[in-house]
Amino acid sequence: QQQVKQSPQSLIVQKGGISIINCAYENTAFDYFPWYQQFPGKGPALLIAIRPDVSEKKEGRFTISFNKSAKQFSLHIMDSQPGDSATYFCAASKGGGSQGNLIFGKGTKLSVKP
Amino acid sequence: DTEVTQTPKHLVMGMTNKKSLKCEQHMGHRAMYWYKQKAKKPPELMFVYSYEKLSINESVPSRFSPECPNSSLLNLHLHALQPEDSALYLCASSQSPGVTEAFFGQGTRLTVV
């Protein structure tokens, strides 16, 4: 049973456009939602993360929107650049003294065309 | 410094070989993890070490044997692997098991021939 569903599987955006990647989760015990960026042959890099007590978090061109009632969260990349071309993974985790294991979505391959 | 260092970067081994993957972090983190990632797939959790003790083993075959010599080091010993074990092996660490901000290393690309 997939606990974190991510869409789309792939995304092509023109330079300067907005990239939007969506994730939905099932387990209401999740309380930490990070996004990771991964370039080919490299390890995932933590991009931005949010907790359920806020509905939006922005860091530079990257914004997470969080809808607790719908159990959905999304990553928006503003002014997308060719250097943003990578695979993006959303994830969810239970913290608060537990093991904090990350449950990953299946990933979205983003291509930003010049 | 948010660096997790993994060695080697690439490894080719035969099915009868014994090899080890190494991971090191100097962030003072007390939780360390091994993940396996196949091509075009998300990372899959293998092991969790919490305060140098193995706390989670996600039903990983015994041909994979983790070891945590101290709080900064994590090893993964490999023996009698199969070609389907070829993957990117990722090490990660977090401040403690209850803190979920995890930092990943660059991974070891393992090929079993």
Return per-residue pLDDT of chain A as tens, 114 residues: 568 999 999 999 999 999 999 999 998 888 899 999 999 989 999 999 999 999 999 999 999 999 999 999 999 999 999 999 999 999 998 765 455 578 899 999 999 999
Look at B50 and A99 and tell me if their CB atoms are within 8 Å.
Answer: yes
Residues of chain A contacting residue B101, judged by C-beta atoms under 8 Å apart: 32, 34, 46, 49
Tell whether the model's pLDDT for residue B53 goes beyond 90.
no
**B104 part of contact set with chain A, CB < 8 Å:** yes
User: What mean pLDDT comes out for the span B16-21?
Assistant: 95
Contact between A13 and A68 under an 8 Å Cβ cutoff? The reply is no
Q: How far apart are CA B102 and CA B15, in angstroms?
A: 32
Choose among A112, A108, A104, A114: nearest CA to A3: A104
Tell whether the model's pLDDT for residue B100 goes beyond 80.
no
pLDDT of res. A97? 47
Q: How far apart are CA B37 and CA B102, in angstroms?
A: 16
Q: How far apart are CA B73 and CA A4, in angstroms?
A: 31
pLDDT of res. A71? 95
pLDDT of res. B57? 81
Residues of chain A contacting residue B41, judged by C-beta atoms under 8 Å apart: 106-107
Q: What pLDDT band is residue B22 in, cutting at 50, 70 and 90?
A: very high
Look at B99 and A107 and tell me if their CB atoms are within 8 Å.
Answer: no
Look at A107 and B97 and tell me if their CB atoms are within 8 Å.
Answer: no
CA distance B99 to chain A (A): 6
Q: Which residues contact B28 (CB under 8 A, 6 or more apart)?
A: B71, B95
Tell whether the model's pLDDT for residue B78 goes beyond 70.
yes
pLDDT of res. A104? 93
Residues of chain A contacting residue B106, judged by C-beta atoms under 8 Å apart: 42-43
Tell whether the model's pLDDT for residue B99 goes beyond 70.
no
Element (H, E) at B74: strand B73-79
